[in-house]
Amino acid sequence: MIGKYSWCFNSSLVLLCGALLAMPGIGASQTSATMEAGPPQPITLQDAIQRAQKIYSQYLTTITDTGVAREDLLQARNAMLPSFLYSQTYFGTEGNGKTPNGRFVTQDGVHVYRLWPTMHQDIPAGFFTRSSYKRAKASLALAEAKQEIARRGLVVTVTKNFYTLVAAQRKYASAQQSTNQAQQFLDNASKLEQGGEAAHADVVKAQLQLNLQKVALREAQLAMDNAHLALAVMLSPTFDENFTAVDDMDHLPVMPSMPELRTLAARENPDIRAAVETLLQADADVSIARAGFFPTFSLDAVYGIEANAIALHSAAAAAKDLGPLPNLGYFITATANVPIWNWGTTRSKLKQAELRRTQARADLTQTQREALSNFYSSYNEAEAARAEVDLLRQAADEAADSLRLTTLRYQAGEAIAQEVVDAQNALISARNSLDDGEARYRVAVATLQTITGQF
């Protein structure tokens, strides 16, 4: 049942109090507040996944990479468009005292004003094939695929840690129950010995069983605390342990049929998508490298004023006798750069790009084969785990009934002490196996969903 097992882990908080005080951003007041925060907050698996996605650094790195790739794509698109700017310049040239011109031959007066709106366009090799844009687009798709791979991997990790904690909570509860049963067996054996109905050896055996169950209880407590710590690392930036995992392992998810899963795997596998985008990126690199053999062009267009006055018409300082002349006009500069010789560097870059593309093709086929193998392996694991859960649950029920009947038979003098001990051990073993089996199925389903996506 959901919420059946809930435990407070104040002991581990006390043990780690000193370590928490040393962590950045955590002071004594924060630690004290955590210790006095009241009962632990129950969290579900989805709560745990959402928390981990907000703080887990490896997953956040992929989100950052995706954001950077998105800006790269924007820059690659903008690089294909012309740029515009406006400049305003004043040239105050020293005169020579004889002519209207300044002392510098580039100026036609001692006062020159330049007001230029300009347009600049680079036309590099590969401009019309949009190779750089295609590469940036493939890089963004690759980053998104890697982010999805990281997200699904994080889900598997959180699921494993979450249900490890749930199973540990159950095992602790089972250990407590077994300890109580061992204590009850010792009490029964002592009463029967006092009545002359049982030998002292039964009391010794019952005491031994109780001691062993107490040791098992301590080990279960340790395993539960460690599982809680492992999950807390992923869920809280301040290492807050004031939570408990909601037990929903009895509500096992249902897997779709094999044809449906195969369709999902073919459409939703991020590993194959990443390999495909890597190949597209390599194709664009080859196109960019090959474009290095071709000329590049640039175009600058200027429309504005460069005159001795800021006006649409004015007299030129060097030819005032001509009267006012138009100042507003344009000029265009077109440049072509033709590669001639660079000692084979361009050819070497092309060879490098072709080698990377060949490797990307090999990686894609390898990824496809591995994805198919992983799909069937994950499906078989989940299918086997699901089938075993039913058997383990039946075994746990039968072990509980066997212990009940054996205890009654012992009290009636029809069973020996060893049979009771064996029944107790069989019950705790069956319950632990059931807990491990249900946790295994949950992790197997999460692993399968790394290939198929959510279902």
Give the separation between CA 130 and CA 413, rounded to whole angstroms.
90
Q: Rounded to the nearest 5°, which phi and psi values hold at 254?
A: -95, 130
Give the separation between CA 312 and CA 424, rounded to whole angstroms.
105
pLDDT value of residue 437: 95
- The conformation of residue 97, written as its DSSP 8-state character, comes to S
CATH fold match for the domains 10-80+128-294+345-452 and 84-126+296-338 = no
> What residue has token string 């009850």?
184
CATH architecture, range 84-126+296-338: Single Sheet (2.20)
Contacts 24+ apart (CB under 8 A), 74-78: 75/136, 76/132, 76/133, 76/135, 76/136, 76/137, 77/133, 77/136
pLDDT value of residue 103: 67
pLDDT value of residue 241: 86
Contacts 24+ apart (CB under 8 A), 61-66: 61/150, 62/143, 62/146, 62/147, 62/149, 62/150, 62/151, 63/147, 65/143, 65/146, 65/147, 66/140, 66/143, 66/144, 66/146, 66/147
> What residue has token string 């840690």?
161
> What residue has token string 């195969």?
262
pLDDT value of residue 320: 80
Give the start-to-end residue ranges of the domains of the chain: 10-80+128-294+345-452, 84-126+296-338
The H or E element that residue 267 is part of is: helix 258-268
pLDDT value of residue 37: 57
Tell me whether strands 313-314 and 325-326 are parallel, antiparallel or unpaired: antiparallel
pLDDT value of residue 438: 95
Give the separation between CA 300 and CA 84, rounded to whole angstroms.
10
> What residue has token string 């799909």?
375
Contact 448, 379 (CB under 8 A): yes
Residues whose CB is less than 8 angstroms from the CB of residue 157 and which lie 6 or more positions away in sequence, other chains included: 52, 234
Contact 404, 185 (CB under 8 A): no
pLDDT value of residue 27: 42
Superfamily the domain 10-80+128-294+345-452 falls into: Outer membrane efflux proteins (OEP) (1.20.1600.10)
Residues whose CB is less than 8 angstroms from the CB of residue 166 and which lie 6 or more positions away in sequence, other chains included: 5, 245, 246, 247, 248, 249, 435, 439
The Cα-based distances of 148 to 285, 345, 417, 430, 453 in angstroms read 24, 38, 57, 38, 10
pLDDT value of residue 238: 87
Q: Which pTM does this prediction carry?
A: 0.78
| 379's tokens | 């499906």
The DSSP line for 404-435 is HHHHHHHHTTSS-HHHHHHHHHHHHHHHHHHH
pLDDT tens per residue across all 455 residues of the chain: 333 333 333 433 333 344 444 444 444 334 444 445 578 899 999 999 999 999 999 999 999 999 999 999 999 999 889 999 999 888 888 777 777 777 666 777 788 888 989 999 988 878 888 899 999 999 999 999 999 999 999 999 999 999 999 999 999 999 999 999 999 999 988 988 888 888 899 899 999 999 999 999 999 999 999 999 999 999 988 888 889 999 998 888 888 999 999 999 989 999 999 999 999 999 999 999 999 999 999 999 999 998 888 889 988 877 788 888 898 999 899 999 999 999 999 999 999 999 999 999 999 999 999 999 999 999 999 999 999 999 999 999 999 999 999 999 988 888 898 999 999 999 999 999 999 999 999 999 999 999 999 88
